[in-house]
Protein backbone atom coordinates (compact mmCIF):
# COMPACT_ATOMS: atom_id res chain seq x y z
CA UNK A 1 0.00 0.00 0.00
CA UNK A 2 1.72 0.02 -0.16
CA UNK A 3 -0.01 1.99 0.15
CA UNK A 4 -0.33 3.74 1.85
CA UNK A 5 -0.60 6.71 1.41
CA UNK A 6 1.18 9.75 6.08
CA UNK A 7 1.10 7.17 2.46
CA UNK A 8 -0.89 10.85 1.25
CA UNK A 9 -1.31 8.03 0.96
CA UNK A 10 0.84 10.48 2.19
CA UNK A 11 -0.78 13.77 2.02
CA UNK A 12 1.71 15.79 0.11
CA UNK A 13 -0.12 19.04 0.35
CA UNK A 14 -1.54 19.19 3.79
CA UNK A 15 -1.33 16.42 6.32
CA UNK A 16 -4.35 17.71 8.21
CA UNK A 17 -6.41 17.53 5.02
CA UNK A 18 -8.61 20.32 6.22
CA UNK A 19 -6.54 22.71 4.17
CA UNK A 20 -5.90 21.01 0.86
CA UNK A 21 -7.29 23.85 -1.23
CA UNK A 22 -6.51 26.52 1.32
CA UNK A 23 -3.02 27.47 0.31
CA UNK A 24 -3.73 28.08 -3.35
CA UNK A 25 -3.59 31.85 -2.96
CA UNK A 26 -1.83 32.79 0.26
CA UNK A 27 0.18 30.63 2.64
CA UNK A 28 0.88 33.39 5.12
CA UNK A 29 -2.60 34.29 6.34
CA UNK A 30 -3.84 33.09 9.70
CA UNK A 31 -7.44 32.61 8.63
CA UNK A 32 -6.62 30.17 5.83
CA UNK A 33 -10.14 30.45 4.48
CA UNK A 34 -10.92 29.80 0.82
CA UNK A 35 -11.12 32.44 -1.86
CA UNK A 36 -14.66 31.97 -3.17
CA UNK A 37 -16.14 32.84 -6.52
CA UNK A 38 -17.97 35.70 -4.85
CA UNK A 39 -14.72 37.50 -4.19
CA UNK A 40 -14.86 36.87 -0.43
CA UNK A 41 -13.56 34.25 1.96
CA UNK A 42 -15.18 30.84 2.30
CA UNK A 43 -15.03 29.71 5.92
CA UNK A 44 -13.68 26.18 6.27
CA UNK A 45 -14.73 25.56 9.86
CA UNK A 46 -17.11 22.85 8.61
CA UNK A 47 -14.15 21.01 7.06
CA UNK A 48 -12.11 21.28 10.26
CA UNK A 49 -14.97 19.93 12.35
CA UNK A 50 -15.46 17.04 9.92
CA UNK A 51 -11.74 16.26 10.17
CA UNK A 52 -11.83 16.28 13.99
CA UNK A 53 -14.79 13.91 14.04
CA UNK A 54 -13.97 11.58 11.14
CA UNK A 55 -10.19 11.11 10.99
CA UNK A 56 -8.97 10.31 14.57
CA UNK A 57 -11.11 7.20 15.22
CA UNK A 58 -10.41 5.78 11.76
CA UNK A 59 -6.67 6.42 12.12
CA UNK A 60 -6.63 4.55 15.42
CA UNK A 61 -8.61 1.62 14.01
CA UNK A 62 -6.26 1.34 11.03
CA UNK A 63 -3.28 1.65 13.37
CA UNK A 64 -4.40 -1.15 15.71
CA UNK A 65 -5.58 -3.60 13.02
CA UNK A 66 -2.61 -2.96 10.73
CA UNK A 67 -0.07 -3.15 13.56
CA UNK A 68 -1.41 -6.50 14.77
CA UNK A 69 -1.30 -8.06 11.31
CA UNK A 70 2.14 -6.79 10.38
CA UNK A 71 3.62 -7.61 13.80
CA UNK A 72 2.44 -11.19 13.30
CA UNK A 73 4.27 -11.28 9.97
CA UNK A 74 7.49 -10.05 11.60
CA UNK A 75 7.10 -12.54 14.47
CA UNK A 76 6.66 -15.44 12.06
CA UNK A 77 9.81 -14.53 10.16
CA UNK A 78 11.88 -14.00 13.31
CA UNK A 79 10.61 -16.87 15.52
CA UNK A 80 9.11 -19.66 13.40
CA UNK A 81 11.28 -19.45 10.30
CA UNK A 82 14.38 -17.98 11.96
CA UNK A 83 15.87 -16.93 8.65
CA UNK A 84 14.95 -15.61 5.23
CA UNK A 85 15.04 -18.41 2.66
CA UNK A 86 13.66 -16.88 -0.51
CA UNK A 87 13.44 -13.57 -2.33
CA UNK A 88 9.77 -13.50 -1.41
CA UNK A 89 10.62 -13.77 2.29
CA UNK A 90 12.95 -10.76 2.05
CA UNK A 91 10.37 -8.64 0.24
CA UNK A 92 7.48 -9.59 2.54
CA UNK A 93 9.49 -8.85 5.69
CA UNK A 94 10.53 -5.45 4.33
CA UNK A 95 6.90 -4.75 3.36
CA UNK A 96 5.75 -5.55 6.90
CA UNK A 97 8.44 -3.27 8.38
CA UNK A 98 7.50 -0.44 5.99
CA UNK A 99 3.82 -0.79 6.87
CA UNK A 100 4.61 -0.82 10.60
CA UNK A 101 6.71 2.33 10.38
CA UNK A 102 4.01 3.99 8.31
CA UNK A 103 1.33 2.97 10.80
CA UNK A 104 3.49 4.39 13.58
CA UNK A 105 2.90 7.89 12.22
CA UNK A 106 -0.91 7.62 12.33
CA UNK A 107 -1.24 8.43 16.07
CA UNK A 108 0.55 11.72 15.38
CA UNK A 109 -1.84 12.54 12.53
CA UNK A 110 -4.82 11.51 14.67
CA UNK A 111 -3.67 13.97 17.33
CA UNK A 112 -3.07 16.60 14.65
CA UNK A 113 -6.63 16.20 13.33
CA UNK A 114 -8.23 16.16 16.79
CA UNK A 115 -6.46 18.99 18.58
CA UNK A 116 -3.84 20.45 16.26
CA UNK A 117 -0.08 19.86 16.26
CA UNK A 118 1.08 19.78 19.90
CA UNK A 119 4.67 18.79 19.08
CA UNK A 120 7.59 20.89 17.85
CA UNK A 121 8.62 21.54 14.24
CA UNK A 122 11.46 18.99 14.28
CA UNK A 123 8.97 16.23 15.10
CA UNK A 124 6.67 17.62 12.40
CA UNK A 125 9.39 17.24 9.79
CA UNK A 126 10.52 13.87 11.13
CA UNK A 127 7.05 12.31 11.27
CA UNK A 128 6.18 13.70 7.83
CA UNK A 129 9.38 12.25 6.36
CA UNK A 130 9.00 8.84 8.04
CA UNK A 131 5.42 8.72 6.85
CA UNK A 132 6.38 9.44 3.24
CA UNK A 133 9.48 7.20 3.23
CA UNK A 134 7.47 4.18 4.26
CA UNK A 135 4.60 5.05 1.96
CA UNK A 136 6.89 4.98 -1.06
CA UNK A 137 8.75 1.92 0.28
CA UNK A 138 5.47 0.03 0.64
CA UNK A 139 4.31 0.89 -2.89
CA UNK A 140 7.68 0.01 -4.45
CA UNK A 141 7.88 -3.26 -2.51
CA UNK A 142 4.40 -4.24 -3.72
CA UNK A 143 5.72 -3.62 -7.23
CA UNK A 144 8.77 -5.82 -6.59
CA UNK A 145 6.58 -8.60 -5.19
CA UNK A 146 4.51 -8.67 -8.38
CA UNK A 147 7.72 -8.95 -10.44
CA UNK A 148 8.98 -11.72 -8.15
CA UNK A 149 5.73 -13.65 -8.59
CA UNK A 150 5.97 -13.19 -12.35
CA UNK A 151 9.48 -14.68 -12.39
CA UNK A 152 8.58 -17.54 -10.02
CA UNK A 153 5.53 -18.64 -12.05
CA UNK A 154 6.26 -17.71 -15.66
CA UNK A 155 9.99 -18.50 -15.62
CA UNK A 156 10.05 -21.42 -13.19
CA UNK A 157 13.24 -23.07 -14.47
CA UNK A 158 15.27 -19.87 -14.51
CA UNK A 159 13.98 -18.95 -11.06
CA UNK A 160 15.12 -22.30 -9.68
CA UNK A 161 18.53 -22.23 -11.38
CA UNK A 162 19.34 -18.73 -10.13
CA UNK A 163 17.80 -19.08 -6.68
CA UNK A 164 20.95 -18.11 -4.77
CA UNK A 165 21.57 -15.08 -6.97
CA UNK A 166 17.95 -14.02 -6.55
CA UNK A 167 18.48 -13.87 -2.79
CA UNK A 168 21.34 -11.45 -3.38
CA UNK A 169 19.27 -9.48 -5.87
CA UNK A 170 16.40 -9.26 -3.38
CA UNK A 171 18.65 -7.67 -0.76
CA UNK A 172 20.08 -5.23 -3.29
CA UNK A 173 16.55 -4.42 -4.44
CA UNK A 174 15.42 -3.67 -0.89
CA UNK A 175 18.41 -1.39 -0.29
CA UNK A 176 17.58 0.46 -3.50
CA UNK A 177 13.90 0.74 -2.50
CA UNK A 178 14.75 2.28 0.87
CA UNK A 179 17.30 4.70 -0.59
CA UNK A 180 14.89 5.76 -3.34
CA UNK A 181 12.13 6.24 -0.76
CA UNK A 182 14.38 8.49 1.33
CA UNK A 183 15.12 10.64 -1.72
CA UNK A 184 11.44 10.81 -2.65
CA UNK A 185 10.67 12.02 0.89
CA UNK A 186 13.01 15.03 0.66
CA UNK A 187 10.08 17.45 0.12
CA UNK A 188 8.81 16.52 3.59
CA UNK A 189 12.16 17.46 5.13
CA UNK A 190 12.13 20.76 3.24
CA UNK A 191 8.51 21.92 3.35
CA UNK A 192 6.82 20.34 6.39
CA UNK A 193 6.19 23.06 8.96
CA UNK A 194 4.04 23.85 11.97
CA UNK A 195 1.53 26.43 10.83
CA UNK A 196 -1.03 28.51 12.70
CA UNK A 197 -4.61 27.53 11.89
CA UNK A 198 -6.14 30.18 14.10
CA UNK A 199 -5.29 31.93 17.34
CA UNK A 200 -5.76 28.73 19.35
CA UNK A 201 -4.25 25.84 17.39
CA UNK A 202 -1.56 24.84 14.91
CA UNK A 203 -1.12 22.07 12.35
CA UNK A 204 1.77 20.20 10.74
CA UNK A 205 1.38 20.86 7.02
CA UNK A 206 3.34 21.20 3.79
CA UNK A 207 4.02 24.90 3.20
CA UNK A 208 5.28 25.85 -0.26
CA UNK A 209 6.60 29.18 -1.45
CA UNK A 210 4.08 31.36 -3.29
CA UNK A 211 6.81 32.86 -5.48
CA UNK A 212 7.07 29.91 -7.90
CA UNK A 213 3.39 29.91 -8.92
CA UNK A 214 2.78 26.55 -7.17
CA UNK A 215 5.24 24.73 -9.46
CA UNK A 216 6.88 22.96 -6.52
CA UNK A 217 3.52 21.87 -5.18
CA UNK A 218 2.44 20.48 -8.55
CA UNK A 219 5.78 18.69 -9.00
CA UNK A 220 5.54 17.02 -5.58
CA UNK A 221 1.99 15.92 -6.31
CA UNK A 222 2.98 14.57 -9.73
CA UNK A 223 5.78 12.58 -8.07
CA UNK A 224 3.30 11.17 -5.58
CA UNK A 225 0.86 10.12 -8.28
CA UNK A 226 3.41 8.65 -10.71
CA UNK A 227 5.72 6.78 -8.32
CA UNK A 228 3.14 6.02 -5.65
CA UNK A 229 0.36 4.80 -7.92
CA UNK A 230 0.76 4.79 -11.71
CA UNK A 231 4.10 2.93 -11.79
CA UNK A 232 3.03 0.23 -9.29
CA UNK A 233 -0.35 -0.11 -11.02
CA UNK A 234 1.25 -0.57 -14.44
CA UNK A 235 3.74 -3.19 -13.23
CA UNK A 236 1.18 -5.06 -11.11
CA UNK A 237 -1.38 -5.25 -13.93
CA UNK A 238 1.21 -6.33 -16.52
CA UNK A 239 2.79 -8.99 -14.30
CA UNK A 240 -0.47 -10.49 -13.11
CA UNK A 241 -1.93 -10.44 -16.63
CA UNK A 242 0.92 -12.67 -17.81
CA UNK A 243 0.58 -14.83 -14.68
CA UNK A 244 -3.14 -15.31 -15.34
CA UNK A 245 -2.45 -16.40 -18.91
CA UNK A 246 0.16 -18.86 -17.63
CA UNK A 247 -2.19 -20.29 -15.01
CA UNK A 248 -5.00 -20.67 -17.55
CA UNK A 249 -2.73 -23.01 -19.50
CA UNK A 250 -1.94 -25.11 -16.43
CA UNK A 251 -3.90 -28.26 -15.53
CA UNK A 252 -4.01 -27.68 -11.80
CA UNK A 253 -7.04 -28.13 -9.57
CA UNK A 254 -5.83 -25.12 -7.56
CA UNK A 255 -5.79 -22.87 -10.64
CA UNK A 256 -9.12 -21.25 -9.84
CA UNK A 257 -8.06 -20.55 -6.26
CA UNK A 258 -4.91 -18.90 -7.54
CA UNK A 259 -6.90 -16.75 -9.96
CA UNK A 260 -9.21 -15.61 -7.16
CA UNK A 261 -6.23 -14.54 -5.08
CA UNK A 262 -4.76 -12.59 -8.01
CA UNK A 263 -8.04 -10.78 -8.59
CA UNK A 264 -8.23 -10.00 -4.86
CA UNK A 265 -4.71 -8.53 -4.87
CA UNK A 266 -5.31 -6.36 -7.93
CA UNK A 267 -8.80 -5.30 -6.85
CA UNK A 268 -7.63 -4.33 -3.36
CA UNK A 269 -4.84 -2.18 -4.77
CA UNK A 270 -7.06 -0.41 -7.31
CA UNK A 271 -10.06 0.09 -5.03
CA UNK A 272 -7.96 1.45 -2.16
CA UNK A 273 -5.59 3.64 -4.19
CA UNK A 274 -7.53 4.82 -7.25
CA UNK A 275 -10.02 7.13 -5.45
CA UNK A 276 -7.31 8.91 -3.50
CA UNK A 277 -5.02 9.37 -6.47
CA UNK A 278 -7.96 10.65 -8.49
CA UNK A 279 -8.41 13.23 -5.76
CA UNK A 280 -4.69 14.11 -5.94
CA UNK A 281 -4.99 14.67 -9.69
CA UNK A 282 -7.81 17.14 -9.05
CA UNK A 283 -5.70 18.79 -6.38
CA UNK A 284 -2.71 19.09 -8.70
CA UNK A 285 -4.90 20.62 -11.39
CA UNK A 286 -6.33 23.06 -8.88
CA UNK A 287 -2.85 24.05 -7.73
CA UNK A 288 -1.71 24.59 -11.31
CA UNK A 289 -4.80 26.54 -12.35
CA UNK A 290 -7.45 27.25 -9.73
CA UNK A 291 -10.57 26.44 -11.72
CA UNK A 292 -12.74 25.46 -8.73
CA UNK A 293 -13.86 28.58 -6.87
CA UNK A 294 -17.27 27.60 -5.54
CA UNK A 295 -17.16 27.49 -1.75
CA UNK A 296 -19.42 24.46 -1.28
CA UNK A 297 -17.61 22.48 -3.97
CA UNK A 298 -14.21 23.14 -2.38
CA UNK A 299 -15.49 22.14 1.05
CA UNK A 300 -16.97 18.94 -0.39
CA UNK A 301 -13.68 18.12 -2.13
CA UNK A 302 -11.72 18.58 1.09
CA UNK A 303 -14.04 16.24 3.00
CA UNK A 304 -14.01 13.72 0.14
CA UNK A 305 -10.20 13.85 0.24
CA UNK A 306 -10.22 12.88 3.91
CA UNK A 307 -12.49 9.92 3.20
CA UNK A 308 -10.52 8.50 0.26
CA UNK A 309 -7.24 9.04 2.12
CA UNK A 310 -8.44 6.83 4.98
CA UNK A 311 -9.58 4.28 2.40
CA UNK A 312 -6.06 4.29 0.93
CA UNK A 313 -4.54 3.73 4.37
CA UNK A 314 -6.50 0.51 4.83
CA UNK A 315 -4.13 -1.18 2.39
CA UNK A 316 -1.67 -1.52 5.31
CA UNK A 317 -4.26 -3.74 7.00
CA UNK A 318 -4.87 -5.77 3.84
CA UNK A 319 -1.22 -6.43 2.96
CA UNK A 320 -0.65 -9.15 5.63
CA UNK A 321 -3.83 -10.93 4.49
CA UNK A 322 -3.28 -10.63 0.73
CA UNK A 323 0.45 -11.30 0.65
CA UNK A 324 1.09 -13.52 3.67
CA UNK A 325 -1.67 -15.27 5.58
CA UNK A 326 -3.52 -16.28 2.43
CA UNK A 327 -0.75 -18.85 1.81
CA UNK A 328 -0.74 -22.41 3.17
CA UNK A 329 2.77 -22.18 4.61
CA UNK A 330 2.12 -18.96 6.47
CA UNK A 331 -1.13 -20.24 7.93
CA UNK A 332 0.74 -23.22 9.32
CA UNK A 333 3.48 -20.95 10.63
CA UNK A 334 0.86 -18.80 12.34
CA UNK A 335 -0.68 -21.89 13.94
CA UNK A 336 2.77 -22.95 15.13
CA UNK A 337 3.40 -19.49 16.59
CA UNK A 338 0.08 -19.55 18.46
CA UNK A 339 0.92 -23.00 19.80
CA UNK A 340 4.25 -21.74 21.13
CA UNK A 341 2.57 -18.77 22.76
CA UNK A 342 -0.04 -21.04 24.36
CA UNK A 343 2.68 -23.35 25.59
CA UNK A 344 4.59 -20.43 27.06
CA UNK A 345 1.46 -19.35 28.94
CA UNK A 346 0.89 -22.90 30.16
CA UNK A 347 -2.32 -23.31 28.17
CA UNK A 348 -1.03 -26.21 26.06
CA UNK A 349 1.12 -29.18 27.02
CA UNK A 350 4.47 -28.87 25.24
CA UNK A 351 4.49 -32.59 24.48
CA UNK A 352 1.30 -32.19 22.46
CA UNK A 353 2.72 -29.62 20.10
CA UNK A 354 2.77 -30.96 16.58
CA UNK A 355 5.72 -30.45 14.35
CA UNK A 356 4.81 -28.17 11.46
CA UNK A 357 5.64 -30.00 8.24
CA UNK A 358 7.99 -28.32 5.85
CA UNK A 359 6.09 -27.15 2.82
CA UNK A 360 6.84 -24.83 0.00
CA UNK A 361 6.63 -21.16 0.90
CA UNK A 362 3.66 -19.13 -0.21
CA UNK A 363 4.85 -17.80 -3.52
CA UNK A 364 7.56 -20.47 -3.62
CA UNK A 365 10.44 -19.99 -6.01
CA UNK A 366 10.18 -23.52 -7.32
CA UNK A 367 6.55 -24.50 -7.15
CA UNK A 368 3.80 -22.58 -8.87
CA UNK A 369 0.94 -24.50 -7.35
CA UNK A 370 0.94 -23.04 -3.81
CA UNK A 371 2.02 -19.62 -4.95
CA UNK A 372 -1.46 -18.19 -4.55
CA UNK A 373 -2.98 -21.03 -2.61
CA UNK A 374 -5.77 -20.49 -0.12
Identify whether 241 is part of a domain. Answer: yes
Identify whether 5 is part of a domain. Answer: no
Q: Is the pLDDT of residue 363 over 70?
A: no
Tens of pLDDT along 16-68? Answer: 333 333 333 333 233 355 454 444 566 777 888 888 999 999 999 999 999 99
Buried-state track 255-265, b at ≥16 Cβ within 10 A, e below 16: bebbbebbebb
- Measured distance CA(196)–CA(133) in Å, rounded: 26
- Measured distance CA(19)–CA(231) in Å, rounded: 28
The pLDDT, as a whole number, for residue 340 is: 78
Tens of pLDDT along 75-100? Answer: 888 887 666 778 888 898 999 999 99
The pLDDT, as a whole number, for residue 337 is: 80
The pLDDT, as a whole number, for residue 156 is: 86
Q: Is the pLDDT of residue 101 over 90?
A: yes
- Residues 10, 4 contacting (CB under 8 angstroms): yes
Tens of pLDDT along 119-153? Answer: 999 999 999 999 999 999 999 999 999 999 898 88
Identify whether 12 is part of a domain. Answer: no
Identify whether 356 is part of a domain. Answer: no
Q: Is the pLDDT of residue 362 over 80?
A: no
Mean pLDDT of 191-211: 85
Identify whether 372 is part of a domain. Answer: no
Identify whether 15 is part of a domain. Answer: no
Q: Is the pLDDT of residue 284 over 80?
A: yes
Q: Is the pLDDT of residue 110 over 80?
A: yes
Identify whether 371 is part of a domain. Answer: no
The pLDDT, as a whole number, for residue 264 is: 84
Tens of pLDDT along 147-183? Answer: 998 988 888 888 877 777 888 888 999 999 999 999 9
Query: Is cis: bond before 9, omega within 30 of 0?
Result: yes
Q: Domain residues for 315?
A: 22-348
Q: Is the dihedral of CA 361, 362, 366, 367 positive or negative?
A: positive
Number of structural domains found in the chain: 1
**Is the pLDDT higher at 340 or at 361?**
340
**Is the pLDDT higher at 358 or at 285?**
285
What residues form DSSP beta bridges with 41? Answer: 35
Identify whether 221 is part of a domain. Answer: yes
The pLDDT, as a whole number, for residue 371 is: 47
- Residues 81, 75 contacting (CB under 8 angstroms): no
The pLDDT, as a whole number, for residue 122 is: 93
Tens of pLDDT along 225-236? Answer: 999 999 999 999
Query: Tell me, what CATH number does 120's domain have?
Result: 1.20.1070.10
The whole-chain average pLDDT of the chain stands at 78
Q: Is the dihedral of CA 103, 224, 171, 272 positive or negative?
A: positive
Amino acid sequence: MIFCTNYTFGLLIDESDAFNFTDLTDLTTDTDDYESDLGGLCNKELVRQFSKTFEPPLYWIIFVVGALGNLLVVCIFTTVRNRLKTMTDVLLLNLAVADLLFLGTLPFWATNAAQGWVFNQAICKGVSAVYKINFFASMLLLTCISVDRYIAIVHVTEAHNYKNKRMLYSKITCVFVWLASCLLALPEFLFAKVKNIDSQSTSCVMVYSITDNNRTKVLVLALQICVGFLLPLLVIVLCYSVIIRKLMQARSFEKHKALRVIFAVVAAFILSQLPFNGYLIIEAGQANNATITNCEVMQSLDMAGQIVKCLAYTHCCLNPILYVFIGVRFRKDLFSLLQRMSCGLGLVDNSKLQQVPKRPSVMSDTDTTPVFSL
